Amino acid sequence: MKIAVCVSHVPDTAAKINISGDGKGIDPSGVTYVVNPYDEFAIEEALKTKEKFGGETIAISLGPEANKETLRKALAMGIDNAVLLKDESYRDSLSVAKALASEIKLHNAELVFFGKQSVDYDNSVVGQLTAELLGYNCISVAVDFKLDGSKVICEREIEGGKEVIKTSLPAVITAQKGLNEPRYASLKGIMTAKKKVIEEKTVDAANNYIEIVSFKRPAPKQAGKIIGTDASAVPELVRLLREEAKVI
Ligand SMILES: Cc1cc2nc3c(=O)[nH]c(=O)nc-3n(C[C@H](O)[C@H](O)[C@H](O)COP(=O)(O)OP(=O)(O)OC[C@H]3O[C@@H](n4cnc5c(N)ncnc54)[C@H](O)[C@@H]3O)c2cc1C
């Protein structure tokens, strides 16, 4: 079985992000990029599935040359092959999904793992859109995954409990935290990954339906107010919480 995993290369959530001069992007200077955290769960599940049932795994990323770092990490964790769909331009989620779906089709992958969300644009739709474009079944936000022949059984967390759902291959699964514990790349894996060739491909130009108008920073936080330093401040504190902050 061919198993694909789609991985995005995202700014580290701890990085300080500056908005670019035109206000429509970010200034990449000094920003550290990492594998999208949810995609690490997707990679791990692809590896576990291959270890159990055999087959071949492939990681696919759409973006600039720098995305090779993320693909290298996937290879170091144990993914067999990697493809970079090289593109520098902004793409909306549908345009990302179209490019990924075309590549997945070429590899005839029956099972495709995604993260539930890319922690930059946070749209949480690329997996589902790709499934629709491929005509595959889709289970999103999975915290457990089992394969039994061509039957797929997943668990999802819902308010107050878990939902157990099933579908059949071919399928797209989007990974939620808790699905597994992603492995660390071994030294051998890192060395092997360095030697592997990442296939580079060009993609059709983006045909976006959604355009970024601007990025805005949140309003600066107001300075804190000291009401008092002993119990006599409590009535005023309660009044402010009730009348100004309206939280009680
Ligand atoms: C500030 C900022 C900086 C960015 N910088 C880069 C960059 O340097 N390099 C870059 O390639 N992209 C960059 N992007 C784009 C980004 O990584 C994703 O392609 C894009 O965020 C998809 O967003 P989404 O919210 O629609 O994805 P979601 O729908 O939230 O993603 C769900 C899942 O789809 C898959 N997925 C999403 N995007 C891709 C992708 N491009 N390739 C493979 N699988 C994917 C992943 O499995 C992900 O977990 C940047 C975006 C922002 C906002």
Quick one: pLDDT at residue 170? Answer: 98
- Residue 28 is classified by DSSP as -
Assess whether pLDDT exceeds 90 at residue 83.
Answer: yes
Residue 98 near ligand 1, beta carbon < 6 Å:
no
Domain ranges for the chain: 2-202
**How many C-beta neighbours within 10 Å does residue 156 have?**
16
Question: Tens of pLDDT along 4-20?
Answer: 999 999 999 888 888 98
Where does residue 63 fall: left (phi above 0), alpha (psi -120 to 50 degrees), or beta otherwise? left
Peptide bond into 28 cis (omega under 30): no
Question: Tens of pLDDT along 201-244?
Answer: 999 999 999 999 999 888 888 888 899 999 999 999 999 999 98
Residue type (1 letter), 47: L
**177 C-alpha to ligand 1 centroid (Å):** 18
Quick one: pLDDT at residue 245? Answer: 87
Residue range 31-40: average pLDDT?
Answer: 96
Quote the CA–CA distance of 30 and 134 in Å, as a whole number.
Answer: 38
Residue 36 near ligand 1, beta carbon < 6 Å:
yes
Quote the CA–CA distance of 6 and 97 in Å, as a whole number.
Answer: 10
Quick one: pLDDT at residue 49? Answer: 98
Coil, helix or strand at residue 7: coil
Residue 92 near ligand 1, beta carbon < 6 Å:
no
Quick one: pLDDT at residue 222? Answer: 83
**228 C-alpha to ligand 1 centroid (Å):** 47
What is the pTM for the complete model shown?
0.89
Quick one: pLDDT at residue 42? Answer: 98
**90 C-alpha to ligand 1 centroid (Å):** 10
Residue range 35-60: average pLDDT?
Answer: 98
Q: Of 21-30, 77-86, 229-238, give the lowest mean pLDDT range.
A: 21-30
Assess whether pLDDT exceeds 90 at residue 30.
Answer: no
Question: 2-202, superfamily in CATH?
Answer: HUPs (3.40.50.620)
